[in-house]
A and B are shown apart, each in its own frame.
Chain A
Amino acid sequence: MCGIVGLFIKDKALEPQLGQLLSVMLATMCDRGPDSAGFAIYGGGEAGLAKITVQSPDPAMFNGLDSALAGVLGAKVSMATKDTHAVLRLAEKLTDRAREVLRGQFPQLRVMGVGERIEIYKEVGYPTEVSERFGLPGMTGSHGIGHTRMATESAVTTMGAHPFSTGVDECLVHNGSLSNHNNLRRDLKREGRTFETENDTEVAAAYLTAQMDRGLSLGDALEKSLDDLDGFYTFVVGTRDGFGVLRDRIACKPAVLAETDRYVAFGSEYRALVGLPGIENAKVWEPEPATVYFWER
């Protein structure tokens, strides 16, 4: 069992409240996933700049990281730290080079996500504590996805928590369990993809990335996953400007969607949605199995 919440804002006036609303939603899902939590926030981006979210169990590692990286790259790097995570901002065209430098010179750091707008935070711990540690209630943005984890397939670790990055400005969270992830991981490794964990969702994320690298759109990659992924899943995905939901054909993992003129919201249960403004008059429904839902602004 796990819990998923997601909020995709249509009315810009709500954007300052994104973190506040999402943190209330996440808190309702603690008992579905008390062992770890995480969230992706699509905040403001600056044209030409990219954000790299990195994690270290020891935040002292971040001391001087920005200047060291700036020195190697010969370019400006700014950094904002939040507990065990730091968000590095640098010129977009330097992203690949920066990741190379991080891999080579700072192997203890783990890259959580990269993009113009995405920031990914995740840790082991009770979801409300994780949310407080990173200051989720104060965050702003256009959309966000949160996850509370009850591990079934692999160890309770930071890297086993969700969301998983599936590419630039993209992320995936999952409720369920895949049964063919070992085979898929072997296939994807053969293609040269690397994995940090034994986690099934990481395989799903890598699978989607691989499909998109071959030229498929996210929607088409999700459609294809219905044939290639075996197991139970409710997925919620985020892109730079979009928000999507997909359930497997059996659809036993719960999902509720709500839509008003101001937002689209996802909850594993209706409980997650009751604090949203105007929920009483929202269109509330259960997403159909094997159907890709996607909203974009």
Chain B
Amino acid sequence: MPTVDLATTGLRELNEALHKLSEGTNETHWEILNPRGSHAVAVGVNAPAEIAVQGSVGYYCAGMNRQARITVRGSAGPGVAENMMSGEVIVKGDASQYAGATGKGGLLVIEGNASSRCGISMKGIDIVVKGNIGHMSAFMAQAGNLVVCGDAGASLGDSIYEARLFVRGSVKSLGADCIEKEMRPEHVELLAQLLARASITDVKAKDFKRYGSARKLYNFSVDHAGAYG
């Protein structure tokens, strides 16, 4: 199991080694020590490796991830798992702003709270947050699922397209064109699967409310100008 100590090894060296991993590699378990808030840790990995980061990271950890399962045993700075394509990223602590931004696939689990703009412009990623999320989350979210076991901040889902938002607690306010929708059996089932994938067993899918797009802002109509506020 390769162990990389960022106190003695440069970030570029670490990321180059991770980028060299390919399908069928035997080096499937990595441990990264002393991240001390470093930026861009384990960005651009494209191999089915398990990577454990022992501590808190700075900007853009696990960005563009494909296939890898990356666990941050601490908190993450802005842009964790930004533009993830597949695989899994688990943050044991909190995540700063725009967690999972523009993600196309894979699963991002935040065991603490996520701050503002969580899942902004998400395009197919699944995001599960055990705690609360901040304001302007899922802004212009296009596809995928955002699950929040706690509360959501102001302007949730502003200008949302087709992503599904599930919130168990309160929502401070909904953004333009975002509305509460009926929780049908297929949504309860989907949500139960997402919670199971995130290893969350102490909350029930039926306790969540679903939010999504009213689909009024897809094409500009002057009659709807007021809704853009």
Contacts and interface: CB of A to CB of B under 8 A. Distances in A.
A210 interface: no
A256 B96 CA distance: 9
A270 interface: yes
A271 B135 contact: no
Contacts of B134: 251, 289
B121 interface: no
B135 A289 contact: yes
Interface in A245-273: 250-252, 254, 256, 269-273
A295 interface: no
A80 interface: no
A252 B96 CA distance: 10
Interface residues of B, number: 17
B94 interface: yes
A271 B115 contact: no
B155 to A, nearest CB: 10
A284 B77 CA distance: 12
Contacts of A273: 37
B96 A254 contact: yes
Contacts of A285: 94
A285 B160 CA distance: 28
Interface string A267-297: 0011111100000000011100100000000
A254 B94 contact: no
A271 B116 contact: no
A285 B56 CA distance: 12
B116 A289 contact: yes
Interface in B106-141: 115-116, 134-136
A286 B58 contact: no
Contacts of B58: 269-271
Given A284-B75, A289-B116, A289-B135, A270 B97 contact: no
Interface string A43-55: 0000000000000
29 contacts: A250-B116, A250-B136, A251-B97, A251-B116, A251-B134, A251-B135, A252-B97, A252-B116, A254-B77, A254-B78, A254-B96, A254-B97, A256-B96, A269-B37, A270-B37, A270-B56, A270-B75, A271-B36, A271-B58, A272-B37, A274-B37, A284-B56, A284-B75, A285-B94, A286-B97, A286-B115, A289-B116, A289-B134, A289-B135
For the complex of A and B, list the 10 residue pairs with the smallest distance between their C-beta atoms, beginning with the closest: A271-B37, A270-B37, A274-B36, A286-B115, A270-B56, A269-B58, A274-B37, A271-B58, A251-B116, A286-B96
